[in-house]
A and B are shown apart, each in its own frame.
Chain A
Amino acid sequence: MNAHLQPTGSAYFIAKETELAETHTLSVLVDNEPGVLARVIGLFSGRGYNIESLTVSETEHEAHLSRITIVTRGTPHVLDQIKNQLERLVPVHRVVDLTVRAGSLGHDRPIERELALVKVHGSGDHRVEALRLADAFRASVIDANIDHFVFEITGKPSKIEQFIAIMKPLGLIEVCRTGIAAMNRGPQGM
C-alpha cells in the first residue's frame, strides 16, 4: 500500500514499505489444545511477522482457555493483518490489540509487566552494592550463599533492562525472563 515500487525482473512486484513500524502488544485468547502455540508461532514465522516477546499460560482451567501475550512490531497495515490472520485460526477465540485499545481508552499504553530471575556473583564490595541496588529496585533475594544472589524482580520491561544493566559490572551470571504479561487499565475485560 502506497508502496514505492521499482521495476523488477521478477514475476512479482517488490514493494518497499514507507509506513513506520510500531511496537504493539496483543492479547490472544485460545483453546488450550495440543498444537495451538505452534499454530500461532507458525503463523508469525510463515508470514514473516516479528515476535519480540511471548508469554503463554492457561488462565481459565475449567474452560481450558489460555491467554497468549505477544509483543510484535510492524507497520499499522501489517499489525492489522496479524490480528486478522490470528482470528482466522480455528482455536482462537479473540484477539485484542492492547496498544490500540489503550489509545482508545485515553492511555499511553497497556499495563505491561515482566518477571525476571537474576543471578549475581556477590562477594566483597560488589556484594553490598548489589544488595543495596536490589533494594532500590524492590528486587527480592530468593536464594543466596556467601558468593551469590538470585534476585526476583518484577516491573516494566524497561525497569528490568535497567536492573540487568546495572548488575552486569557487579558480576551478573545469568538471567531468566518471563516475557510480558499485559492488560488494559480500567474496569473492562479484554
Chain B
Amino acid sequence: MSGTENQMTGAEIVLQALRDNGVEHIFGYPGGAVLPIYDEIHQQDDIQHILVRHEQGAGHMAEGYARSTGKVGVMLVTSGPGATNAVTPLQDALMDSIPLVCISGQVPTSLIGSDAFQECDTVGITRPCTKHNWLVKDVNDLARIIHEAFRVAQSGRPGPVVVDIPKDVQFATGTYTPPSAVPTQKSYQPKKQGDLKKIEEAVELMRNARQPIIYSGGGVINSGPEASHLLRELVELTGFPITSTLMGLGAYPASGKAWLGMLGMHGTYEANMAMHDCDVMVCIGARFDDRITGRLNAFSPNSKKIHIDIDPSSINKNVRVDVPILGDVGTVLEDMVRLWRAASKSADKARLSDWWETITKWRARNSLAYAPNDDVIMPQYAIQRLYELSKDRDTYITTEVGQHQMWAAQFFGFEQPNRWMTSGGLGTMGYGFPAAIGVQVAHPNSLVVDIAGDASIQMCIQEMSCAVQYGLPVKIFILNNQYMGMVRQWQQLLHGNRLSHSYTEAMPDFVKLAEAYGGVGIRCEKPSELDAAIRKMIDTPAPVIFDCRVANLANCFPMIPSGKAHNEMLLPDEATDEAVANAIDAKGRQLV
C-alpha cells in the first residue's frame, strides 16, 4: 500500500464513492448496522440524506428520483428488516428497468451466519430481485465495488443493485480507489450499437409498409432525452402512427398528430386495432408484456415485427419477431433515422393514406368516452380537469396502482419524457406517493402530483411525515371511490359480482389525516366545485391530500378481457352489466 493519502475507513469510502459517482441525494433509514455510515453523513454537506418512515418508501423515492432525472437513485438501509423492506422497490425497479443503488448494512463478518440480531442473508434474498449484488468482505474492495455497482445499475438495461456492507468493513481502514482507476468487470460490457445490416433490413421493411405502426416503450425513456427526440423525428419522417406502453408515455407527445394513445388491456380502440391489423410493427424499447399482447396466438397475426431492445432476453421471449435489433434505442434510432433519410428522400406518404383513413374511423369510435355527470365527479373527469389546470405548469405525475392509474394514463396528456412515474411491471400499490417525494426532491420548484386511489395511498401514507419534514409540497390527488376499484372490476368480470373484500369499510378522514401530519387536506364532492379545489391544491405551498370523492362504481374501459385478442375489446358504451358478466365464458371462469 502506497502512502496514506487514500487511506480511509469503510464508511468514509462509501461517502467518497457516492460523491465521485455524482450523488447529491440519498433516501434512507438508520439502524445498528449502518451507524458508521450515518456518522459520516452527519459530518459532511455534499450529499443530502432524506429520512424516510419505512424502507419501502426510500426505494420508491429513489425510483421516482431516478426516473424523473435519468440519474441513479440511491437508498441506504440497515441490515435485516431494513434490507427485507427494500425488496419490494428492488423488484419494482428490476421490472421497470430503473437504475437504483441500494447500500445495506450487514452484521460484522465474524457474525455472518450466526443468526445474529438483525441478520439476514441480504445477498441471498435480493439475488433474484436485483440486476447484480455484492457482499463486501474486504474494505479494500469497497470503492471498486461501489463504482462497479453504479456502472452496472445504469448501463445496458438499467436496474437495481445491492451493495451489502458488514459493520466491521465500515469501521476498517483501507485504500480508496477513484472510479477512473477501477477496471470494469470484463464479463459485463453491454453493446450500444445495433447491427447495421439489421437496421437496413428494418428500414427496407418500413419503406414498403402500407399499414405500419410504431409501438414504443419505457426503453425509449431510459435511453435518455435524445432517444425521445429521435423517436419524434422518426415518426415525423415516416408518417407512421405511434402508440406506446404505459411505461413509454411522454416519449412521443400526446398532442402529436400521429399519436393513437396507449395500447394494451386498457388502451384505446384505435391503438389496439392498429396493432392487430398492421403489416409492419416497429417495437422500440418495449417487451411484449402480457398486458400489451392480449391472447398471444391472436396477437397482430399478419405483421412483420421489428424489435429494438438492449436486452437480448427480451427478444423472442413472448412474441417471435422477424427483425431483432440488439442495441441502445437512442443509438439504433440515430442509425435508423439516418438510413431512412438516405433511402427515401421523397417518402411516398400517399401509400399510407388508406391506413390513416381506417385509423380515423377507429378514432371516431371514441373509445375513452364516458357518461358525464353533473351530480357526482366522474373519475375520468377529475383527471381531465387536473390535466387542464396543470398542463401549463412544470408538472410531474406519479401514480399508485389500479383504476386511477389507468385513467391517468388514458386522460392525462404527457408531452415530455421523464414526467410520468408509475409502477408498470410489478404493479406496486404504494409506489406513487414516495415516488412523488423523490421527484420533488430532484425538482423542488415543480408541481408534483401523485394520482392515487383510496386503497393504494394507505400503503405508504406514513411518508407524509417525510414530506412535511423536508417541506416537499407534494400533492396527493386521491380518486376516492371507497373500493379497490380494479379488484372490484375483476370480481364483477370473473367472479359473479361477489365483491370479496374489495370494499374498505373504515376509511380514514383524509382531510384530518393530512392535518394530523402537518399537511393540508382538501375535500371535493361536486363537479361544480372541482376546478376551484384543484386550483387551491396547486397553489398550496405544502403537502396536500386531496380527497376527490368520485362515482363509486365507475369502471375502467375500454378493456381487453383476458384470453381475448386486440380486436375483441370491450368498449365503454357496450359494457353493460350483462356484457361485463358474459365477457368471459362460464367454462373459462372455472379454470382458475
Which residues of A approach B to under 8 Å, CB–CB? Answer: 1-15, 30-31, 34-35, 38-39, 42-43, 46, 77, 80-81, 84-85, 87-93
**Set of chain B residues within 8 Å of A7, measured between Cβ atoms:** 563, 584-585, 587-588, 591
B187 close to A92 (CB less than 8 A): yes
- The residue in chain A whose Cβ has the minimal distance to the Cβ of B186 is A93
19 example contacts (A-B, Cβ-Cβ < 8 A) are as follows: A1-B296, A1-B320, A5-B297, A7-B587, A8-B588, A9-B588, A9-B590, A12-B290, A14-B591, A14-B592, A34-B135, A46-B128, A77-B316, A80-B316, A85-B313, A88-B313, A90-B131, A90-B187, A93-B187
A5 close to B187 (CB less than 8 A): no
A-B residue pair count with CB separations less than 8 angstroms: 96
**Known pairs A3-B296, A10-B592, A14-B591 / 9 extra A-B pairs, C-beta < 8 Å:** A4-B297, A10-B494, A10-B562, A13-B562, A31-B185, A38-B127, A43-B128, A91-B185, A93-B186
Inter-chain CA distance A108–B35, complex, in Å, is: 60
Pick from B312, B319, B494 the residue with the most CB of A within 10 Å. Answer: B312
B313 close to A84 (CB less than 8 A): yes
B124 close to A38 (CB less than 8 A): yes
Inter-chain CA distance A7–B294, complex, in Å, is: 12
Fill in one digit per residue for B111-129: 1 if any A CB lies within 8 Å of its CB, else 0: 0000000000001100110
Inter-chain CA distance A106–B121, complex, in Å, is: 47
**Set of chain A residues within 8 Å of B490, measured between Cβ atoms:** 11
Interface residue from B132, B295, B313, B563 paired with A81 (Cβ < 8 Å): B313
**Which residues of B, 55-109, contact A by the 8 Å Cβ criterion?**
none
The answer, yes or no, to whether B233 is at the interface (CB within 8 Å) is no
Inter-chain CA distance A88–B315, complex, in Å, is: 12
The answer, yes or no, to whether B311 is at the interface (CB within 8 Å) is yes
Nearest CB on A from B191, distance (A): 12
Inter-chain CA distance A1–B124, complex, in Å, is: 33
Interface residue from A1, A9, A46, A89 paired with B591 (Cβ < 8 Å): A9
Inter-chain CA distance A34–B132, complex, in Å, is: 12
Nearest CB on B from A179, distance (A): 23
**Set of chain A residues within 8 Å of B317, measured between Cβ atoms:** 81, 84
**Set of chain A residues within 8 Å of B495, measured between Cβ atoms:** 9
**Set of chain A residues within 8 Å of B320, measured between Cβ atoms:** 1
Fill in one digit per residue for B179-208: 1 if any A CB lies within 8 Å of its CB, else 0: 000000111100000000000000000000
Inter-chain CA distance A181–B439, complex, in Å, is: 52
**Set of chain B residues within 8 Å of A77, measured between Cβ atoms:** 316
